Homo-oligomer: A and B are copies of this chain.
């Protein structure tokens, strides 16, 4: 195979000893290496420390689930505590409230959706709308392709942005508020699981009854 000569031909042999490919890591070596990486259980921080990713199946058509999510105000239905969004700019910036914690915290959101890839990214922030650093990366996938059944798979990732650990704009916070959104990082996974379950229930209810997934009020 001439292509095995071309692959990585710009990198001197031995320069990347921790790159494991069948050419430098025979099966006898790869199998135990991989077996040692499998564990019966994994600690919380290893799984949800740097990223909070979850995914799930929704028994509703992917294009309709995507269209629904692409509406910023759908957040008012399926999230636990985001409410009352109003569009405040001509560049798709919305202002709402996060009723989590002490309540009445301003949350700004701009949704960037790509119909081709069915990605929906909510760029959000508490307290200010200039730097939207709380980013919810979502994607709807056709379950027919990946699970051999009708419906949708929803992927959802948040990355552990350093601002979760320290509020970069403390002067913008509501006077007297004692919580910061990052205080909840350790429970993002169960919180998002609960919200993904909300999304699933709402979409499946509407789809199974022939209701539009995206209601008029959005």
Contact = CB atoms under 8 A, between A and B. Distances in A.
B6 A217 contact: yes
Contact of A157 (B9, B155, B160): B155
A182 to B, nearest CB: 13
A84 B1 CA distance: 7
Contacts of A41: 41-44
A91 interface: no
Interface in A1-54: 1, 3-4, 6-11, 15-16, 18-22, 25, 30, 33-35, 37-44, 47, 51, 53
Interface of A is mostly: mixed
A21 B201 CA distance: 12
Nearest to A5: B217
A133 B117 contact: no
Interface residues of A, number: 83
Given A9-B215, A18-B197, A160-B147, A38 B186 contact: yes
A141 B137 contact: yes
Closest 6 CB pairs of A and B: A37-B190, A117-B117, A41-B41, A6-B217, A146-B159, A114-B117
7 contacts: A7-B76, A7-B83, A22-B100, A34-B194, A35-B187, A38-B190, A53-B55
Interface of A: 1, 3-4, 6-11, 15-16, 18-22, 25, 30, 33-35, 37-44, 47, 51, 53, 55, 73, 76-77, 79-81, 83-85, 99-100, 114, 116-117, 119, 123, 133, 135, 137, 139, 141, 143, 145-148, 153, 155, 157, 159-163, 186-187, 189-191, 193-194, 197-198, 201-202, 205-206, 211, 215, 217
